[in-house]
Structure formats: structure tokens, C-alpha cells
Structure 1
Amino acid sequence: MTNERYETRINRALALIDRHIDQDLSIERLADEACLSPFHFHRIFSALTGESVHAMTTRMRMERALALTRRVIRPQWKAIAGAVGYRSQDVFTRAFKRHFGCTPSAFDLEKYWRGRTDRDDALAVSRYFLRPALPLPPDFKVEIVDRPAANLIISRAVGVYLDPTLIVAAYERIDAFSKTLGIAMPGRLAGASRDDPELVPLSRCRYDFSLEVLDGTRASKGLQAARRDEGRWAVTHVEGDFAAVDRAWNLLFKSWLPASGHNLRPAAAEEIYNQTPNEIGWDRFDVTLAIPLED
């Protein structure tokens, strides 16, 4: 069995953790999802992710918890603890303190950033992380739409913020697959960061290209099948360079969303490609930014 096939199996386990972050998933359940024995699952998971199952699950829970705090002015830590899989607020607080070195109420994002070992690399990618919210310009148009459920084929890259060649390789895999199906990618291809770069080391951040496909389409080697649930999304269109896309994300998340009165649904935000890198290049973008909203 090749490493590529192992990666596909481990990605299925990670997707299961993402979907059920509020539950304690047994090693047996995760191993079964990956079609591996529990004994081998431990070793392969750690070898491919660089973390134990427990360490990664904890990190994903902490990231989700902090994301939940950004939706409200006064976080209800008891509810947040339950939403990320802890049986009590006390257990959650102890886990949070072990992970971040402080209690949830004392967490300071700017202080955390000052202590990050990859801070310079992260700021070289984007200063979005520490920028304040921008005033909403009158021409920043956001539409709320209903997107139907869709079957997806995923091409994943890890560490793309540090090594852009990884994202190019992930794109080329999904591009080659689309050609075998005879599918035109514009409007059907989306990109999604599965981890929050504000809180996750850049070397561990996952980026997925997802292609909408017909029911029953099987993933080829190095890809995986997934599904996007139906739901409401806030969308805005942007054309331009990386700085234009970066600014649009900043406006959408930090300015429009708090003023809108909407709450985020626990799913990844997406960049829907109206023109692909094959058509427009890697330094220009024609994308629709989409964030998932609660009904």
C-alpha cells in the first residue's frame, strides 16, 4: 500500500473528527473509517500528521472553541465546552489551559501571536490575522443564497502557506481528474482552508480543493470522496490579486458578519473558482467567497 493511499484513508478519519468534534470517537471507530486495524492506525496517523490522535483532536477542539467565541459578545463557556466534546466546563478549562497556557477567558490572540514560532512566516503570507476590522464600503455587496447538497471529490494539501508548490500539486491532481470525467471546473471547483491559520501552525494547516461531481463518482488515487450539506451561504464576488482577495475576506468575516446578525454554521468557508488558475494564472483571481450561515 502506497503512502498516497494511506493519506486518503487518514483523511477520511480526519473528516470524521471534523464532523463529530462534539463526540468522543474511539480509536476503533476512527480506524474502521480509515479501513485500518487499530494497531496500525495509531502508527500511520502519527507518521502522516506529525501528531497523535489525541493531540490533533484536542487542537481541533480548541480551534473550534475559539471560533465559537467569535460569534458572540459574551461567550457561554459551558455551552462551548459541550459543543466541542467536553463533559463539563471544568474539564474543558483544564484542557484549554494545558493547550494554550491560560484559561479560556484570559486568552489573548495578540499575545498568542507574539509567541508563535512561525509568526514571521505567517505575517509574510498575510497580515489579515492581526488587522482590525475595516469600515464597510458601500460597494461591498454580499448576497445570501441557498446552496444544494453536493457530492465532492477532494484533493488535499498540508502546509501550503509555507510551500506554495504543494497547492499547485493538489490543484493539478483535481484538474487531471476533472479531465477524465469531462467536467469543466469553473463554478464547480472550490478551495477551503480546513484549519484556522490564526491558531494552527502553518505547517499543519490543511487546504482542500473540492470538485462537485455526480452521485456515484469514485475518487481516483490520491483523492477522496466527500459531501457538502445543503444550507445557506453568504457570498461575495472578488476579482484581482491576492491583496484584493485578502481584503475581501477581511471585510466579509470581520466587518460584514458581525454587523449582519447572522451566525456561522460549523463548516469551512470556501473560495469558488469562477476562473481556474489554468485560465487566469496563479497571481490573479476571479472567485466567489462563501461563508456558511445557520438557518
Structure 2
Amino acid sequence: MTTALDHYQARMQRVLAHIDQHLDGDLDLEAVSSVAAFSKFHFHRQFKATFGVSLHRYVQLARLRRASKRLADGQGPSVTDIALEAGYEAPDAFARAFRQRFSQSPSDFRKAPDWAPWLAAFGPLNAARSRIMQTTFNPDQVTIREVAPTRVAIFEHRGDPDTQDATIQRFIAWRKGAGLSPRTNPTFNIWHSERRPADPADYRMDLCVGLLDDRPVEEGAKAGEIPGGRCAVLRVTGDTHNLEPAALYLYRDWLPASGEEMRDFPIYCQRFFLDEPELGTAAELFLPLR
């Protein structure tokens, strides 16, 4: 029974990965159901039962999220090109849909994004992704690695985790302004608290960029270092939006059985792009050890 359930969940995860990687392509019911090898006559009900939103709304939200991020970049394609990429036949239709979702026109959002309506609009999308059942891990996937210290620029998020997407967007804009591409300068997340503390105000997470030279840190971030030493490393590929299952596995399952002891530094991850875009993104979680 467990094997059958895992297989079903893997097929649904494959659907989300396919949508992420083909937002410019054909994502109608027949095309997407074939990715999971489900009958198109039942798939729309299966999708909504699993993720809480319809396939059409999920795709629409995913395209709007990508469009809004390109607008916020400020240096990307024109509003017309972004509208066409999002699947709209005319900029006017895109502008109406965008204003309805985010209470700003695309042009106004590009100049000065208001992140509060943006966060609210994508609540259903984030909730859908979080309903993917936990991925299972095993000890063979964990390696112990000697890690060199890394000088970083730190961009802090403090407070309600539901607002961290806005912090992430500000971090991306700051990183671009500083000329620190994720292709050349590694990106890290450091978690100083639980993912969902009892008091949301207690949530603390750092977004970091690795610095490969002695350049001063641009205004808006602060200098710091991820210390070197032994770490247990667990690699996650595909959907890396929610790394809590991997972190829980390291803390709850792997660590007690390993006989290892934790070092006095929080768990953190490095995020990076895979060489083959169709494989998605990846993250490596580092649990510092003595």
C-alpha cells in the first residue's frame, strides 16, 4: 500500500515539475494528464483533490508569478512580451488580470512592487505546493563532507514566515544590483528557527550570497561567514520549495542513528541550478557536526 501511494505521489510531483519547466508550452488537461499517465477524464478531479486548486487556476497562478517576477526585475522584457509569455493574447487582458490579482497595473508594479497583495494572491499556489506529501529519504543519501569556510553577504528575514517571499524578492533585486549572479556566486539559506514557530514573530532566516573575492558588501546587506568544518549533507532535487521534510529527516532519523553530534551552527542549505534545465533545481542541506 505504501509503495502504491509513493508511486502515486511521485506522479503528481512529476506533474508540478513539468508545469514549472513548460510554462511557455501547452498545459491543457490532455497534455498535463499524459505526463502523469492518468486518464484525462479523471485527472482534473485528481489534481484538485491533491492540491486544492484546479489545474487551470494553478497554471494561471504559476504564469502570473513568473510574469510578476520578471516585471519586478525592472530590466527584463517589455510588458507586452511578458503578457504574451504569460499566455495572454493582448497586453490589455494581461493588465486587467494583473490588476485584479495584485491591485496594481503591470507598469506600476515594475516601478514599485507592492508585495502584500502579491503574497495574498499566491497563497493558493503556495498551499497547493505544500500539500505534496513528504518525500522519504534514506541513510545512503547522506554524506559527511569537510566544508571550507565561505564569506557571505547576508540579507536577513525576521518575522512571519508567510511574508518571506517579499523578502526573497527584495534579496533578488539587491543581488542583481550588486552584480552577484547565482551562476557565479552561490546562494545559501540559513535557518535560525523552526519553519513554523509558535509565535510567527520568532521566525528567523538569512538569505546569503557567497563572495568569491574581498569586495565590500553593498549597502542593504551585512558581511558574515558560514564556518567550515564537518557537515552531514543531504541533496534534494526537483521541487526544492519546501525543504522541511529533508531537514526533519536529518534531525529526527539520521542524526540519532549516526552517533554524530551537532556543532553550534544552524542547519543551512545551498541552492543551485542543474546543468540540464529539465532536471529542475537542487539544494544541499548541511547539518554542521562536531
User: With structure 1 as the length reference, what TM-score do the two structures score?
Assistant: 0.49
User: With structure 2 as the length reference, what TM-score do the two structures score?
Assistant: 0.50
Q: Considering only CA atoms, is the larger Rg found in Structure 1 or Structure 2?
A: 2
